Amino acid sequence: MDSESTVTTCYRHPKVECHVRCTRCERFICPDCMREAAVGHQCPDCVKEGARSVRQARTLVGGRVSRVPVVTYVLIVVNVLVYLAEVAKPEIVDRFAMVGAGLLGPDGEHYLWVDPYPGGFGPEGLVDGEWYRLLTGAFLHLPPTEGTFGIAHIVMNMLALWNLGRLVEPMLGRVHYLALYLLSALGGSVLVLVIAPEDAVVGASGAIFGVGAAYYVLARRVGADMSQVNRFMAGLLLWLVISALVTSWEGHLGGLLAGGAVALAFAYAPRDGRRTLVQVGACVLLVVVLGVAAVVKVSELTGGGIPR
């Protein structure tokens, strides 16, 4: 028998002689193509195929498992960068704070809403079609010129977000967590609009209260020891009461309610093919409800006209 006919080569490197077969597809593979397997070696193609067939781990709500709370870190960085921008340009606060109805005088000063407003004054806030304020206000904080509480505002919020986010984000997954955070911020802004439209509100507190509500819901869902969780919630509710004196309790309560609703939908959606549909549907429904409430209130403030 011709010895050349028995020479075997790697299927990926035809010029390399080899004598080892892939344990999965039985093709010959050279040392560069060998991948350790439970038994023997596999080729790169079979390793990739096996990785695709492995079921990916999922969180309680169906999100992708992520041990590093990247979204929390990014949110903190964004808030800090925006705060530094405020320090450099204080007018950013007036331009992007959550204001439902305000007046901008001819001298550039900000005044309380009066309907009808005097000549020379123009509407400011959501009544002037500045709908972006519903979310931008959640990334602003009191400037340093507001005294000690000005700096403490962002420090306290970022510490709370750091501690809560590292607990809740891994339980939800990045996409679910970001959706919860933004919807909580939106819920806080809408309740401010409905109850106190003349207030200029800034801060991530509403969104953080929503994350706190999610922590409570998820802890109950997984059957965690509720003693520590209940103490946390007691502190959160106490701050909700105290905030009525020092900041916007409406924003806190709105974020708490919105975050709790989203967390309930995420945690208790059926664990089958309908789960994603139910979760997305719940988020869309909440956006619609909040949107309708905002449009109705702005229409009321503008005398029944269609808000821009």
Q: What percent of the chain has pLDDT over 70?
A: 92
Amino acid at 90: P
* Most confident residue range from 21-25, 69-73, 226-230: 69-73
271 against 84, higher pLDDT: 84
Taking the model in full, what pTM does it have? 0.79
Provide the pLDDT for residue 297: 94
Provide the pLDDT for residue 254: 94
Provide the pLDDT for residue 147: 59
249 against 131, higher pLDDT: 131
Q: Which domains does the chain have, with CATH numbers?
A: 3-53 (no CATH), 70-301 (1.20.1540.10)
> Residues 219-254: pLDDT tens digits?
888 777 778 778 888 887 787 777 666 778 899 999
81 against 68, higher pLDDT: 81
